Amino acid sequence: MTRDLVIVGGGPAGMAAAISAHENGVRDILLVERNECLGGILNQCVHTGFGIDYFKETLTGPEYAFRFIQKTRRMPGIEVSLRSFVVHLTGRKVLTYFKPGRLETVRARALIMATGAREKTREMIHIAGTRPAGVFSAGLAQKLINIEGLLPGKAVVIVGSGDIGLIMARRFVLEGARVKAIIEIQDTVSGLVRNVVQCVEDFNIPVYFRHKIAKVLGKDRVEGVRVVKVDGRFEEIRRSAFEIDCDTVLLSVGLIPENELIEMAGAAMDKLTNCPVSKALNNTSIPGLFVCGNAYKIYDIADSVSRDGALAGRMAAKYLKGIR
Ligand SMILES: Cc1cc2nc3c(=O)[nH]c(=O)nc-3n(C[C@H](O)[C@H](O)[C@H](O)COP(=O)(O)OP(=O)(O)OC[C@H]3O[C@@H](n4cnc5c(N)ncnc54)[C@H](O)[C@@H]3O)c2cc1C
């Protein structure tokens, strides 16, 4: 089967791309999403802080997503395929995806990848020590609390001061846990100022700048962390170490664009950022293959992701007009 436009990923980027392509005349659009519903990461972001720029309103993540879901569902030229996991992509824009009980193949005249990003893990920042239970990425902890209704721990140390970690610091306190410290290797926070004020300062959570975790302690479950001060070259300062008792370590140390499918298709990639290399914004080295949202570059706010998706949708529509 050949479709005019296939979009992979039903988060804010993918939905904005589909809507914009439809508004620009494309009438045969397939939006493929591996989850059971559209919305992407926004579904687990139950805090407010979305839509201030785009809608001039303060919305929660699901409220923000819902506006785009409604619009997507109302456009007759957009077919949404949920529980559809794309596992293969060729340079000729042929996609293979799993749906429950079957394997589908589709060729796209134009293709937009809006596959989002994944969180960096403990292994990527080299924290020494044992490998006990209780070390989570901040986004995973967010999913456990907000979607599954599970509290991952009661005494928490957060590594890194990215937005997800700051938001989760407040969430853990609101759920009755103690957040003992945020450990940041740089001398400033990496998250947005509004999150520093609303999530850290308002809850009196101590932040240790120019510090890092030297070691995770504990055998079966995290029992604590050894923290050490670092100098201007991020090297440990001797005799500066101290320990904090905790049962949970959260990592909020950045996101990596999820672009393995684009790489599989043979697009030129920047190995450092895991982003496609191209001469024009939102393009790749493969004609007619576009990329948007966090897969294209890590954005701070969803509003910027929606604008980026809309731009990719317009580009794909223009490309399709050009090849007819
Ligand atoms: C924990 C967290 C908290 C945040 N808090 C805020 C905030 O308070 N305010 C704000 O403005 N922004 C916030 N953001 C940022 C914002 O949510 C993201 O920038 C935005 O969701 C990124 O949109 P996206 O569409 O690029 O990616 P995503 O929302 O991640 O969507 C990508 C979609 O692609 C799908 N997908 C991926 N691979 C495949 C595949 N192979 N096959 C099929 N489907 C696939 C995924 O299932 C997912 O649904 C937060 C982000 C995170 C992670």
Check whether residue 47 and residue 78 sit in a common domain.
yes
Check whether residue 245 and residue 129 sit in a common domain.
yes
C-alpha 8 to ligand 1 mean position (Å)? 12
| CA-closest candidate to residue 163, choices 25, 301, 311 | 301
Number of residues assigned to the chain: 324
Task: Please report, for residues 83, 85, 105, 261, the alpha-carbon distance to residue 102 in angstroms, rounded to integers and kept in the order given.
Answer: 11, 11, 10, 20
Is the CB of residue 301 below 6 angstroms from any atom belonging to ligand 1? yes
Q: pLDDT confidence of 296, banded at 50, 70, 90?
A: very high
| CA-closest candidate to residue 322, choices 159, 110, 77 | 110
Which phi and psi angles does 91 have, rounded to 5°? Answer: -65, -15
> Do strands 248-251 and 135-137 pair parallel, antiparallel, or not at all (unpaired)?
parallel
C-alpha 42 to ligand 1 mean position (Å)? 6
Instruction: Examine the fold and report which residue of 219, 251, 283 is the final residue of a domain before the chain moves on.
Output: 251
Average pLDDT, the chain: 96
Q: Which tens digits make up the pLDDT trace of 172-201?
A: 999 999 999 999 999 999 999 999 999 999
Check whether residue 70 and residue 146 sit in a common domain.
no
Check whether residue 80 and residue 152 sit in a common domain.
no
**DSSP conformation class of 202:** G
Is the CB of residue 311 below 6 angstroms from any atom belonging to ligand 1? no
pLDDT higher for 124 or 42?
42
Is the CB of residue 10 below 6 angstroms from any atom belonging to ligand 1? yes
Q: What H or E segment, with its residue span, contains residue 320?
A: helix 302-323
- Average of per-residue pLDDT across 137-141: 96
Look at the block and give the residue holding tokens 């901040």. Answer: 138
Is the CB of residue 115 below 6 angstroms from any atom belonging to ligand 1? yes
Residue nearest to atom 8 of ligand 1 (CA): 49
Counting ligand 1 atoms within 8 A of each CB, the residue from 19, 33, 41, 250 with the most, and so the one to mutate, is 41
- pLDDT exceeds cutoff 80 at 324: no
* Angle between helix 302-323 and helix 61-74 axes, rounded to 10 deg: 20
C-alpha 62 to ligand 1 mean position (Å)? 12
Is the CB of residue 12 below 6 angstroms from any atom belonging to ligand 1? yes
Q: Which tens digits make up the pLDDT trace of 205-233?
A: 999 999 999 999 999 999 999 999 999 99
Q: Which tens digits make up the pLDDT trace of 7-50?
A: 999 999 999 999 999 999 999 999 999 999 999 999 999 999 99
Q: pLDDT at position 279, please?
A: 87
Integer Cα distance of 63 and 51 in angstroms: 9
Q: pLDDT at position 323, please?
A: 82
Check whether residue 75 and residue 163 sit in a common domain.
no
CA-angle at 316, arms to 315 and 322, nearest 5°: 90
Instruction: Examine the fold and report which residue of 251, 282, 298 is the final residue of a domain before the chain moves on.
Output: 251
Check whether residue 16 and residue 114 sit in a common domain.
yes
Q: What single-letter amino acid sits at 111? A: L
Domain span at residue 72 reads: 2-118+255-323
- pLDDT exceeds cutoff 90 at 76: yes
Instruction: Examine the fold and report which residue of 251, 276, 294 is the final residue of a domain before the chain moves on.
Output: 251
Is the CB of residue 218 below 6 angstroms from any atom belonging to ligand 1? no
Task: Please report, for residues 42, 76, 131, 158, the alpha-carbon distance to residue 136 in angstroms, rounded to integers and kept in the order given.
Answer: 19, 41, 12, 10
Residue 69 is part of a domain; what is its CATH number? 3.50.50.60
Check whether residue 126 and residue 113 sit in a common domain.
no
Check whether residue 143 and residue 242 sit in a common domain.
yes
C-alpha 39 to ligand 1 mean position (Å)? 8
C-alpha 38 to ligand 1 mean position (Å)? 11
Is the CB of residue 191 below 6 angstroms from any atom belonging to ligand 1? no
Q: pLDDT at position 126, please?
A: 86
Counting ligand 1 atoms within 8 A of each CB, the residue from 45, 54, 80, 292 with the most, and so the one to mutate, is 45
Check whether residue 111 and residue 127 sit in a common domain.
no
| Count of domains forming the chain | 2
* Angle between helix 12-23 and helix 302-323 axes, rounded to 10 deg: 40
Instruction: List the structure tokens of 228.
Output: 């050490």
Residue nearest to atom 30 of ligand 1 (CA): 116
Burial pattern 260-280, b for ≥16 Cβ within 10 A else e, equals ebbeebebebeeeebbbebee
Integer Cα distance of 52 and 137 in angstroms: 27
C-alpha 11 to ligand 1 mean position (Å)? 6
Check whether residue 16 and residue 49 sit in a common domain.
yes
CB 146 within 8 A of CB 170: no
CB 12 within 8 A of CB 64: yes
Quickly list DSSP for 81-123.
E-S-EEEEE-TT-EEEEEETTEEEEEEEEEEEE---EEE--HH
Which phi and psi angles does 175 have, rounded to 5°? Answer: -90, 5
> Do strands 275-276 and 269-270 pair parallel, antiparallel, or not at all (unpaired)?
antiparallel
Alpha carbon distance, N-terminus to C-terminus of the chain: 18
Check whether residue 239 and residue 134 sit in a common domain.
yes
The 10 Å Cβ neighbour count of residue 99 is: 14
**Which atom in ligand 1 lies closest to the alpha carbon of residue 15?**
25
Is the CB of residue 45 below 6 angstroms from any atom belonging to ligand 1? yes
